[in-house]
Structure 1
Amino acid sequence: MSHHLHASPRRTLRTLVLLVCAALFATVGLTGTASGHGSTVTPVSRNYGCWLRWGNDFQNPSMQQQDPMCWQAWQTDTNAMWNWNGLYREGVAGNHQAAIPNGQLCSAGRTQDGRYRAMDAVGDWKATSLSRTFTINLLDQARHGADYIRVYITRQGYNAGTPLSWSSLELVQSTGRYAPAGNYYVNNVNAGSRTGRHIVYTIWQASHLDQSYYFCSDVTF
């Protein structure tokens, strides 16, 4: 601890600069342009989960061992993590499978010049434990409303060591419209007889314009 007690003025200034930068990043992440969007918070999406767990400690090297998939995501694009609520595409016109190639489902087809490309990385993402009947909670910070929410789950036998493809998914629920609100709930999502590790893939079609959000949530049934 003595090296902290006798830090040089240069080191002290560098520490202060890092703290100010972290505070500015946090402000952008919470109140900037991305705050007009949202994510699934239950089961937690990859992007929201990485921000939730490490947003206040994103420079901690322990993340590399404790949460390696989030570590690679933070290292790939820090701004993507602060903008966890901006993972969307515009102008898809409902043709989701045409717009999002296989292997790029979790990044919305490398949307926004590939900002969220780390979401497609294959590995041991932190998973939420779920019962076979569960509820999705989707946060809509700007109250855009929803034309619909579609919920897919990977088929039984899905190999988590391979990139996610449309053929790996089964549509299990599709909703009607939601009036603008802060949260939307998709109740009684049924995973059937699935067991083990899976991905819940949620598409939120916002109502304010043709803006489609895509969320990968790693789960264990």
Structure 2
Amino acid sequence: MHLSQRAVLALSVIAGVAASGSAFAHGTLSKPSSRVYSCYQGNPENPTNPACAAAKHVGGAQPFYDWAGVNQANANGNHQAVVPDGELCSGGNSKYRGLDLNRSDWPTSPIRADSHGRYTFEFKAPAPHATREWKFYVTRDGWQPGSPLRWADLEAFCTLGNVPVSGNVYKLDCPLPKRSGQHVIYNTWQRSDSGEAFYTCADVRFEGGGGVTPPPQWQDAGPVTARGALDVGTTVTLRVFNDQGNDLERPEITLAAGQTAANQWPLALARKVNASAQHARVGVLKNGVITPVASATENRVYLTPGHLFQLDTRVPDPDPVDPPPGDYDFVYPAGLGSYIPGQTVVKGTDGKLYACRPFPEGAWCNINAEAYRPGTGSAWRDAWIAY
């Protein structure tokens, strides 16, 4: 074999190894930059940052090159069980133990909320995955940079479900809590297609106020009790009221296959509530963090002070029977107030036909409110069945 042929073969082998290695990459925060990603960008072989240099002395340079792999293969949402206190930045993975060094001189990124108190995190993912949950934490007020990082030092401030990826980057919009000075933002990314989870520490410096004021202390308002499984297509709604009985918000979920068991639909509802509601959280309260669990009885509803809740379930509509063309009683809203539950059919403003639900839900058909406008109102399904 000629020398040039050997060189080509060697380059082919190296390229193959590099390609196979990248296939096992996963992801890390790039905005703000994670601890491991900052060290990777700051010369892995000869780090200019003293904390990165100390981490290299402990674990070598390879962890920096493998910045996307801070993981636990079998976390399955049980992050505190698999990642011990003091090992949060390494994700409990000994390969990355240098990231757990208790230092105050890690590279930091400035962070500031927008005019709405929100911030869009960017998570660089060379190998995107189907997602069960994204969760963001920030170190509590009074935490000192350079101290060991424990779960009790963290306060959760944002939980998201499956977010679409764009160009190998997840953009994750969250309310940003009010802080000042240097802190750590901690992120967990739990896959839905396996038990594997990924962990990220980002050293940040909060600038210029902004952010959102943390809500008042959550108050325990009662349990979410599942007395049995529900049907696929059932809609479960958590309605939150003020002390005058007015609806404040109503996060809801329509159950899909795999979410209907008695220990699963409360979990699905809790994730929806925690990702979208302002005045409510659902889960188990521990160390100041409310975490949803797969259980028929353990999840509880926590509300901001002075509020009440009601849990509503609505079974799937029966298969509609197509009425003959023109077979309707009114063109909505004509005749409003005289509709008969279980009988009246109207033609909605969208041109489709809707039947007034049977009593007692059908009483909502005669309510003159935008929310109950058939087909278009935010709560039209409470009153109408679509043909």
Q: Compute the displacement of 1:79 (Å).
A: 1.4
Amino acid at match of 1:210: G
How many residues align structurally? Answer: 186
Residue 175 (structure 1) shift:
0.2
- Aligned to 1:106, what secondary structure does the other structure show? coil
Instruction: Give the structure 1 partner of residue 49 of structure 2.
Output: 67
Aligned residue in 2 for 1:8: none
Alignment CA distance shift 1:208-1:70 (3 Å): same
1:125 aligned onto 2:106? yes
| Aligned with residue 174 of structure 2, among 188, 201, 208 | 188
- In terms of fraction of residues, the more helix-rich structure is 1
2:65 is the alignment partner of 1:82? yes
Matched, 1:148 2:130: no
What secondary structure does 2:54 align onto? helix
The 3 A distance-change label for structure 1 pair 35 and 95 is closer
Q: RMSD of the alignment, in Å?
A: 2.2
Post-superposition offset of 1:31: 6.1
How far did 1:35 drift? 4.9
Please report how far the alpha carbon of residue 164 of structure 1 lies from its aligned counterpart in structure 2 after TM superposition. 0.3
What TM-score, normalized to structure 2? 0.45
The CA distance in 2 between the partners of 1:208 and 1:144, in whole Å, is: 8
**TM-score, with length taken from structure 1:** 0.77
Structure 1 counterpart of 2:88, from 105, 114, 118: 105
Greater Rg by CA: 2
Identify which of structures 1 and 2 has the higher relative contact order when contacts are C-alpha pairs closer than 8 Å and 6+ apart. Answer: 1
CA contact (8 A) 1:77 1:116 kept: no
- Alpha-carbon distance in structure 1 between the residues aligned to 2:29 and 2:128: 14
Cα distance in structure 1, aligned partners of 2:100 and 2:27: 19
The amino acid of 1:188's aligned partner reads C
1:154-173 alignment, distance < 5 Å: 154-173=139-158
Structure 1 residue 91, shift from structure 2 partner:
1.0
How far has the Cα of 1:77 moved from its partner?
2.1
For residues 116-172 of structure 1, the C-alpha deviation after alignment (integer angstroms, 9 at most, x for no partner) is 000100111011011144221011212213211100000111111211001110000
